Structure 1
Amino acid sequence: MSFPWAEPYQPKNGLTRWFDERLPLPRLVYGAIGGGYPVPRNLNYFWNFGVLAGLALTVQIVTGIILAMHYVPYGDAAFLSVERIMRDVPQGWLLRYAHANGASFFFMVTYIHIFRGLYYGSYKAPRELVWMLGLVILLLMMATAFMGYVLPWGQMSFWGAKVITGLFGAIPFVGEPVQQWLLGGFAPDQPTLNRFFSLHYLLPFVIAGVIVLHIWALHIPGSSNPTGVEVKSAQDTIPFHPFYTAKDGFGVGVFMLLFALLTFYAPNYLGHADNYIPANPLSTPAHIVPEWYFWPFYAILRAFTVDFILPAKLWGVIAMFAAILLLFFLPWIDRSPVRSGNYRPRFRQFFWILILDLLVLGYVGGQPAEEPFVMISQLATIYYFAHFLIILPILSAVERTLPLPNSISESVLHGEDKEAAPADLSGLRPAAAE
Structure 2
Amino acid sequence: MVVTDTGQTVEAVFRIESARIIAGVARIVRDVGIAEEIAQDALVAALEQWPESGVPDNPGAWLMATAKHRAIDLVRRRETYARKLAEVGRTLADAPPPGPPADPDDIDDDLLRLIFTACHPVLSTRARIALTLRLLGGLTTQEIARAFLASEPAVAQRIVRAKRALAKAGVPFEVPYGPDRDARLSSVLEVIYLVFNEGYSATSGDDLVRPGLCEDALRLARVLQGLMPREPEVHGLAALLELQSSRIAARTGRDGEPVLLADQDRTRWNRMLILRGLDALTRAGRGPYSTQAAIAACHARAVRYEDTDWAMIAALYDRLIALAPSPVVALNRAVAVSMAHGPAAALELVDALKDEPALSGYHLLPSVRGDLLRRLGRPDEARAEFHRAAALTGNERERDLLLRRASADPS
Give the TM-score of the pair, scaled to structure 1. 0.22
Structure number with greater CO (CA < 8 Å, separation at least 6) is 1
Structure exhibiting the larger radius of gyration computed from Cα positions: 1
Where is the helix percentage greater, Structure 1 or Structure 2? 2
